[in-house]
């Protein structure tokens, strides 16, 4: 790790005024310190926002719920109202890493963590996402990489909470000293590598992610998230699924099905969602939806459907299962999967 200056801030305005000269924002530092220790991030100046108490808290309102960016994943996953009305989010936040990390990690930090691709995370590999020419994953070790919509870089979307928040149609509040606040939908937060390989989100250097707003779910909404890895504790997703079902009795009015570790940017599976809309949820239709997700039209690239790399065809088998089981979990027709991370 390089030497750096640490600026400790206790107010949002104070922190915003410090966002200069290549400063890097540090919340819990879970992701940042990893990158500093492995030498892939070498900031000369850190702005510590962890002690801004105004950015911590879960605030329900008639419009939905607002969650401060520094709220920890444990606080979210253990929140009774979120558990009952936004199950997909508490499921997702409750499966991240380990209890110790969840006690530290913040929602904002989880959303803004950088790629988990091991080439990107090794200082020796100067890759496309670091502004160089090459992606090493295509010809290299790609067992955990993307199977859909990846274009020039098959790293996968790293944030688990983003899967849930996309399914819930949430937005983030970005605040800058000069321009004030702006709201950005989760679907617009992330930048696909084909659009700009070195800019991962639309967040500008003078902006802080200050809050997440989730609209009130429609009546009859049920949701769930499940993550599958090689291990059930402390592992990254190989396949995952976030499911939000607006139910009218046994009939699904509208469905959101979201995948995180399939592609570089967290994405819906519109083909799967369309398959559920207006139909009763059954195992048969849930399985069909899972398969349909792998036939998905490209959202960010020209890539049609799942196109596995040299070592990750197994992910194409796992995703439909993750999706079908999570649809049934959300619908209350299947218990939490013992094979999923917990």
Partner 1 sequence: MATTKIPSSTGVSPDAAQDMAGDGMKTVMMPVGVPGYTLRQEPRTMPATQPPVLPINADLKFIGKSPERWDGPAKVSGRARYTADIQLPGMLYAKFVDATVPHAKVISVDTSEAEKVAGVKGVFVIENLLGSAKLLNPSLEVSKYPIVRYAGQPIAAVAATNPQIAEDAAKLVKVKYDVMPFVVDMDQARRADAPMVFPGPANQAGTAGGGGGAADVPQTGNIHGPSVHTRGDIEQGFKDADVVVEEHYTTQVQVHNALESHGVVADWKPDLLTVWASTQGTASVREGLAGFFNLPKSQVRVITEFMGGGFGAKFGPGNPGVVAAALSKQTNAPVRLMLDRKEEQLSVGNRPSSDQTLRIGAKKDGTLTAIHLVSYGTAGCGTGAGCAGPATNMYKYASLRTEESDIFTNAGPATAFRAPGHPQGAFALEQTIDELANRLGMDPLDLRDKIDENSARRVEREIVRNSAIWKSRHATPNVDHGHIKRGVGVGQAVWYRNISMDSAAEVRVHQDGSVEVLSAVQDIGGGLKTVMAQILSEQFGVPPQQVSVKIGDTNYPVGPNSGGSVTTASLTPAVRDAAWNAAQNFLASIAPALGAQPDDLVLANGEVSSKSGKFQPISFRSAAAKMNTSEVSAQARRIPDYDRKAYETYGGVDVAEVEVDMEIGLIRVKRILAVHDCGRPMNPKQTMNQINGGVIQGMSYALYENRLIDSDYGLMVNANLDRYQIAGSREIPQIEVQLIQSYIGQSSTDASGIGEPGGIIGTPAAIANAFYNATGVRIRSLPMTPAVVLAALANTSQQKETA
Which positions touch partner 1 (CB under 8 A)?
A: 1-3, 34, 38, 98, 118-119, 122, 124-125, 136, 139-141, 143, 228, 230-235, 238-239, 311-312, 314, 317-318, 321-322, 338-339, 341-342
Report d(CA 218, CA 260) in Å as an integer.
Answer: 23
We find the least distance from the C-beta atom of residue 111 to partner 1, in angstroms, to be 19
Residue with Cβ nearer partner 1 (17 or 122) = 122
Best CA proximity match to 163, nearest among 232, 247, 58, 262: 262
Residue with Cβ nearer partner 1 (98 or 295) = 98
Residue with Cβ nearer partner 1 (128 or 165) = 128
Here the contacts of 305-309 (C-beta below 8 Å, separation 24 or greater) are: 305/148, 306/147, 306/148, 306/262, 307/147, 307/148, 308/147, 309/137, 309/138, 309/142, 309/145, 309/146, 309/147, 309/154
We find the least distance from the C-beta atom of residue 140 to partner 1, in angstroms, to be 5
Alpha helices in the chain (DSSP H): 12-17, 30-37, 73-77, 80-85, 87-94, 99-104, 107-112, 160-167, 186-189, 270-276, 283-293, 313-330
We find the least distance from the C-beta atom of residue 326 to partner 1, in angstroms, to be 12
Best CA proximity match to 98, nearest among 208, 229, 278: 229
We find the least distance from the C-beta atom of residue 31 to partner 1, in angstroms, to be 11
Residue with Cβ nearer partner 1 (109 or 217) = 109
Report d(CA 330, CA 322) in Å as an integer.
Answer: 12
At 85, phi and psi to the nearest 5? -100, -20
Residue with Cβ nearer partner 1 (171 or 226) = 226
We find the least distance from the C-beta atom of residue 257 to partner 1, in angstroms, to be 18
- Residue matched to tokens 């959303």: 111
> CB within 8 A of 189, min separation 6: which ones?
111, 162, 172, 201, 202, 203
Residue with Cβ nearer partner 1 (19 or 224) = 224
DSSP 216: P
We find the least distance from the C-beta atom of residue 22 to partner 1, in angstroms, to be 18
We find the least distance from the C-beta atom of residue 114 to partner 1, in angstroms, to be 13
Report d(CA 73, CA 216) in Å as an integer.
Answer: 20
We find the least distance from the C-beta atom of residue 342 to partner 1, in angstroms, to be 6
Task: Determine how many CB atoms are found less than 10 A away from the CB of residue 235.
Answer: 15
Residue with Cβ nearer partner 1 (62 or 338) = 338
Residue with Cβ nearer partner 1 (81 or 141) = 141
């Amino acid at each position: 790790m390089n030497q750096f200056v640490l600026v400790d801030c206790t107010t949002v305005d104070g922190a915003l005024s410090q966002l200069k000269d290549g400063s890097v924002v540090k919340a819990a530092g879970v992701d940042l310190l990893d990158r500093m220790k492995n030498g892939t991030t070498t900031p000369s100046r850190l702005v510590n926002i962890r002690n801004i108490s105004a950015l911590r808290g879960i605030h329900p309102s008639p419009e939905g719920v607002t969650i401060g960016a520094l709220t920890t994943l444990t606080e979210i996953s253990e929140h009774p109202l979120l558990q009952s009305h936004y199950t997909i989010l508490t499921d997702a936040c409750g499966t991240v890493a380990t209890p110790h990390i969840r006690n530290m990690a913040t929602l904002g930090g989880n959303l803004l963590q950088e790629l988990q691709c091991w080439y990107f995370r090794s200082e020796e590999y100067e890759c496309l996402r670091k502004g160089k020419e090459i992606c090493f994953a295509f010809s290299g070790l790609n067992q955990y990489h993307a199977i859909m919509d990846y274009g020039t870089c098959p790293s996968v979307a790293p944030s688990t909470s983003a899967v849930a928040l996309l399914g819930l149609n949430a937005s983030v509040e970005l605040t800058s000293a000069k321009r004030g606040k702006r709201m950005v939908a989760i679907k617009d937060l992330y930048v696909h590598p084909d659009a700009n390989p070195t800019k991962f989100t639309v967040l500008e250097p003078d902006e802080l992610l200050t809050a997440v707003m989730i609209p009130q779910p429609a009546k009859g909404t049920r949701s769930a998230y499940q993550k599958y890895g090689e291990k059930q504790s402390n592992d990254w997703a190989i396949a995952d699924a976030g499911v939000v079902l607006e139910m009218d009795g046994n009939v699904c009015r509208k469905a959101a099905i979201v995948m995180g570790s399939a592609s570089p940017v967290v994405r819906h599976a519109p083909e799967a969602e369309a398959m559920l809309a207006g139909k009763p949820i059954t195992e048969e239709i849930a399985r069909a939806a899972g398969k349909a997700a792998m036939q998905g039209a490209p959202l960010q690239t020209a890539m049609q459907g799942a196109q596995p790399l040299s070592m990750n065809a197994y992910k194409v088998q796992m995703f439909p299962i993750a999706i079908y089981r999570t649809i049934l979990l959300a619908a209350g027709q299947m218990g939490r999967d013992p094979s999923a991370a917990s």
